[in-house]
Each structure stands twice: as structure tokens, then as C-alpha cells.
Amino acid sequence: MRTVIFDLDGTLADTSADLIAAANACFDTPQLDPVTDAATAFAGGRAMLRLGFSRLGQGDEAAVDEKYPLLLAHYADNIDTHTTLYPGVEACLDHLASEGWALGVCTNKPEALAETLLQRLRIRDRFAAMLGADTLPVRKPDPEHLFETIRQVGGDPARSVLIGDTITDRKTAENARVPCILVTFGPEGEGVARMQPEGLLGAYADLPDLLDRVLAG
């Protein structure tokens, strides 16, 4: 079965503003900007906290560890205040399903938060499996995170493609020897081309044809 596995943050949905708001809630005054720091948002909560502390000229990993639960709690309470699906996501998922593709999500977002967000965005039912950062003992870029997602949707790595937006997704695909498509509508834009993925996606309307070309080699 042909299989396409999606990252979540920065790939299916623009979650940067809500992520940065959660990080800013950990400081007395906001330290991160929702536009210019969007790339850091997609690198994870700890990356945002490190950036905020660096701008204050203070903090270490102990400070990051202390604030991280606060960040998660704030984010859980405000997970979809500003978050939106990228244009064309729902129509694309429905088209792929009608063509017999198996669909899954493999994200480094904690599983419970990812489940909540996908439900709030009303697309959870499109995916046969969803694995988060804490579903397994390992996470991306460990290939087992991707392999297990493929297994749970009933797919085969030899007929699978990973859709993502960061170097973590690219490394995951390389480690799994699975082709990778990176989106160009994230904060890095066309800059993701430097990672040399098998495909670049500028709009979800183009994904079905791009998947066919990528799997054809």
C-alpha cells in the first residue's frame, strides 16, 4: 500500500504563534516574536526557551527544565488560539485517501498534545495512526519512529514518503531510506532546498502528482 506520513507542526498546520505564546508565558516580558522566531518554534519548546533565556543573558539547562512544564501547560490550554491548517490540507488528504493512500502522522510533539490539536483541527479521522514524541522510547530523527508509524497504517517503507519541513524530517527520512518531501511555505521558505529532499512542495494541491513522481524515482 502506498503510504504518506506527515509531520504536524509547520507541515500540516502553522502552529508557530501558539507555540511562541506558550514560550513567552514563561518570561516576565515576551522574548520571542511570532514571525521572526517561527523557525525556532518548530524546533521545539526547549529550543524556544533557550532562545528566550539567551536574549536575557541568563539561563542554563536547569532553567529550561524548570520552565518547560509551564510552557506545556500554557500551550495545552491555548493550543488552537491562532493555529490554522495550511491551505488545501483537507482537500488533499481526502483526495489521497480516495486514491488508496494510507495516511499517518509522525511528530515530535507530545502525543497527547498532537491528538488534541488534530481533533480541534478536525482532521484526526483522516489518519490511520498518529505517533508523538513520547509514543515510543525514540523519536525523530530515529528511523524507528517513522517505521512504526508506517507499520501502524499498514504500509511498507519501500512505498512510503515522509512530508516535513525541517532538518529533523530530512534526517529521519535519510536514516530510514525513505524519500522526503519538504514544504516551502514554512519559515525557511525555499531555503529547505539546501537539504536536497526528493521533492519540494509549494502548495497542497500539487502533492498527489508530486508523490507519484517521487515514488517513481
Q: What is the largest CA-CA distance in the chain?
A: 53
Pairing of strands 84-85, 13-14: antiparallel
Instruction: Give dist(CA 208, CA 141) in Å, integer.
Output: 25
* Cβ–Cβ < 8 Å for 160, 153: no
| Residue 89: how many other CB atoms lie within 10 Å | 19
CA angle 183, 83, 108 (to 5 degrees): 60
* Catalytic residue, candidates 7, 18, 37, 165: 7
37 catalytically annotated: no
Residues serving a catalytic function are 7
